């Protein structure tokens, strides 16, 4: 590795902080204002510049430790949400005496818990040590899920599903923070796709486990009801990985026990170019206001709302479509595995395409166009054309690239720690709202064609395409403005400006990824 002279004086550090907006009534010290990474590097008389081989060595270490656990836990997060559907095939309705629309309400109540606790969750992700708070939430939701096996009534099931939403509200925004904290902007797209694709792996794994339990339960192999076994299995598995998470995942590079002291500094230097740092626990009201006034925040919100209305509806439509195939409940589980495989292929294909060709946003637009084609097939093909309509359903799954694209943009294009957690919180609130609205578009009186719901799919995908094109245009314009500001006479970049916890809009060195 090469070294470059970088003598940072206290006077320069104080000047740097003075250029970062502060609350006018507060007299704050240096360490409160800046990112934790600044504190780590400000005492160094020389700045470390990584050569390619050193960078790859550190990246391999980070991937080897972080990615398997982040991917598996994210998959369990999806599996835990969908365990209810597997339990429905193995007798939960009869087991706890569900009547009328009570089962449908159990599906929705999770998102009400998620929705109500999402913003408090992202604030706690900022306020408390990131990995420790996340690990505690994982163990808590695993324990709650296992407790579902003791439920005996609809009321008890409502309480458990509500608590699941509360504890799982921190997962997706937390994973955004982990990704932006440890990986460069170029690396983030593939890593988000890796852990995002484990939703698909969870569909396959959960479907096969549920199929195995349901298939063997017909031979009276179990003393416990099959649906209780499913909840115990998924809950205990989540608890185990929650404990592993607490033991292995660090809060940031500074307390990564599996890195040497030198490698911890190198891991920080790796992400210097992100212009985002690794974390700041102080809530900054000006960053919160900037998030509210930034049009990109609401473009993100609109896209996930429009994208997750079809998501919530299609999960319901899939079961209705399979009913026309004259399949057994157990066989329908295997068709769900195919949906998971499609999601994996689409996400990883999109990620590696953008890695080599760039422009993740426009490739996500292509995914949405394919989704719209799938939705049109659902609308245009006659009810008797089951294979064609099933193909349309699977093509509609391509919309997932748009959601993951936005998650990756939050990781790489939103700077300022308070701003990032705020934008992330609003994004996942919209995710909840979309998934609550989606199933309501499939009204019983519209059966068997469900034309209003199918038209809703097409309209939502069209709005998502327009939204993504706006985001692409807006980022290009902002990059041009930043370049013009940097080219003005008298512009000066401060030492360690990358770690001052500046927002993406106030930092002229920040470049938006497309």
Quote the pLDDT of residue 5: 32
Residue 437: count other Cβ atoms within 10 Å of its Cβ: 16
Residue 243 contacts residue 139 (beta carbons within 8 Å): yes
Quote the pLDDT of residue 296: 96
Closest CA to 437 of 108, 217, 141, 131: 108
Higher pLDDT, 263 or 329: 263
The enclosing H or E element of 251 equals: none
Complete domains list, the chain, with CATH: 49-499 (1.20.1250.20)
Residue 134 has pLDDT above 90, yes or no: yes
The enclosing H or E element of 498 equals: none
Higher pLDDT, 9 or 220: 220
In the predicted model, what is the mean pLDDT of residues 477-484?
93
Percentage of the residues of the chain whose pLDDT score is greater than 70: 86
- Joined tokens for residue 8: 């940072």
Quote the pLDDT of residue 212: 77
Mean pLDDT of the chain: 84
Quote the pLDDT of residue 193: 95
Distance (Å, whole) CA 454 – CA 400 = 18
Distance (Å, whole) CA 281 – CA 233 = 36
Quote the pLDDT of residue 7: 34
In terms of average pLDDT, the best of 78-87, 90-99, 288-297, 382-391 is 288-297
The backbone torsions φ and ψ at residue 10, rounded to the nearest 5 degrees and listed phi first, read -65, -35
Quote the pLDDT of residue 87: 76
In the predicted model, what is the mean pLDDT of residues 428-438?
88
Distance (Å, whole) CA 387 – CA 389 = 5
- At CB < 8 A and 24+ separation, what contacts does 28-35 make? 32/282, 33/282, 33/500, 33/501, 34/277, 34/280, 34/499, 34/500, 34/501, 35/276, 35/277, 35/278, 35/279, 35/280, 35/417, 35/499, 35/500, 35/501
Residue 448 contacts residue 383 (beta carbons within 8 Å): yes
pLDDT tens sequence across 339-389 = 889 999 999 999 999 988 989 999 999 999 999 998 888 888 887 888 888
pLDDT tens sequence across 499-513 = 888 899 988 889 999
Distance (Å, whole) CA 236 – CA 185 = 35
b/e string for 102-133 if b means 16 or more Cβ within 10 A?
Answer: bbeebbbbbbbbbbbbbbebbebbbeebbbeb
Quote the pLDDT of residue 1: 44
Of 167-176, 247-256, 485-494, 499-508, minimum mean pLDDT range: 485-494
- Joined tokens for residue 304: 């996930």
Distance (Å, whole) CA 463 – CA 476 = 20
Closest CA to 230 of 83, 89, 332: 83
Question: What is the band of 136 on the pLDDT scale with cuts at 50, 70, 90?
Answer: very high
Residue 225 contacts residue 95 (beta carbons within 8 Å): yes
Enter the DSSP assignment of 415: -
Quote the pLDDT of residue 142: 94
pLDDT tens sequence across 139-151 = 999 999 999 889 8
Residue 339: count other Cβ atoms within 10 Å of its Cβ: 18
Quote the pLDDT of residue 248: 95
Question: CA dist 272 to 57, 268, 364, 478, Å?
Answer: 17, 7, 27, 21
Residue 279 has pLDDT above 80, yes or no: yes
């Amino acid at each position: 590795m090469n070294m470059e002279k970088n003598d940072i004086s206290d006077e320069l550090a104080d000047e740097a902080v003075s250029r970062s907006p502060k609350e006018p009534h507060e007299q704050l010290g240096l360490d409160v204002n800046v990112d934790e990474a600044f504190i780590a590097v400000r005492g160094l008389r020389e700045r470390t510049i990584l050569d390619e081989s050193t960078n790859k060595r550190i990246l391999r270490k980070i991937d080897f430790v972080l990615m398997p656990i982040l991917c598996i836990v994210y998959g369990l997060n999806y599996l835990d949400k969908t365990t209810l559907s597997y339990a429905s095939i193995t007798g939960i309705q009869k087991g706890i005496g569900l009547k009328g629309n009570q089962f449908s309400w159990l599906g929705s109540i999770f998102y009400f818990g998620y929705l109500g606790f999402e913003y408090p969750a992202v604030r706690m992700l900022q306020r408390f040590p990131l990995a420790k708070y996340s690990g505690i939430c994982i163990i808590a939701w695993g324990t709650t899920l296992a407790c579902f096996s003791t439920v005996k009534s609809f009321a008890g099931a409502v309480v458990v599903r509500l608590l699941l939403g509360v504890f799982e509200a921190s997962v997706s925004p937390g994973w955004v923070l982990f990704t932006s904290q440890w990986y460069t902007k170029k690396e983030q797209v593939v890593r988000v796709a890796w852990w995002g694709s484990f939703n698909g792996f969870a569909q396959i794994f959960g479907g096969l486990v549920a199929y195995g339990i349901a298939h063997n339960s017909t031979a009276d192999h179990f003393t416990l009801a099959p649906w209780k076994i499913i909840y115990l299995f998924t809950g205990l598995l989540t608890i185990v990985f929650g404990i592993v998470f607490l033991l292995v995942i660090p809060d940031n590079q500074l307390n990564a026990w599996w890195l040497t002291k030198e490698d911890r500094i190198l891991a920080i230097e790796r992400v210097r170019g992100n212009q985002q740092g690794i974390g700041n626990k102080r809530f900054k009201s000006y960053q919160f206001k900037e998030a509210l006034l930034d049009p990109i925040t609401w473009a993100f919100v609109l896209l996930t709302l429009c994208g997750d209305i079809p998501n919530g509806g299609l999960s319901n439509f899939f079961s209705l479509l399979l009913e026309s195939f004259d399949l057994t409940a157990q066989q329908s589980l295997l068709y769900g595995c195919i949906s998971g495989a499609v999601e994996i292929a689409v996400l990883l294909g999109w990620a590696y395409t953008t890695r080599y060709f760039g422009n993740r946003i426009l490739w996500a637009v292509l995914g949405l166009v394919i989704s719209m084609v799938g939705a049109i097939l659902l609308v245009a093909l006659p009810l008797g054309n089951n294979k064609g309509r099933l193909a349309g359903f699977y093509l509609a799954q391509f919309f997932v690239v748009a959601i993951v694209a936005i998650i990756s943009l939050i990781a790489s294009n939103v700077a300022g720690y308070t701003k990032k957690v705020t934008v992330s919180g609003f994004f996942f609130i919209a995710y909840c709202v979309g998934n609550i609205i989606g199933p309501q578009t499939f009204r019983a009186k519209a059966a068997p064609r469900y034309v209003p719901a199918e038209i809703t799919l097409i309209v939502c995908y069209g709005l998502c395409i327009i939204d993504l094109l706006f985001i692409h245009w807006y980022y290009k314009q902002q990059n041009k403005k930043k370049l013009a500001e940097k080219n003005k006479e008298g512009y000066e970049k401060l030492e360690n400006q990358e770690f001052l916890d500046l927002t993406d809009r106030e930092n002229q060195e920040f470049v938006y990824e497309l």
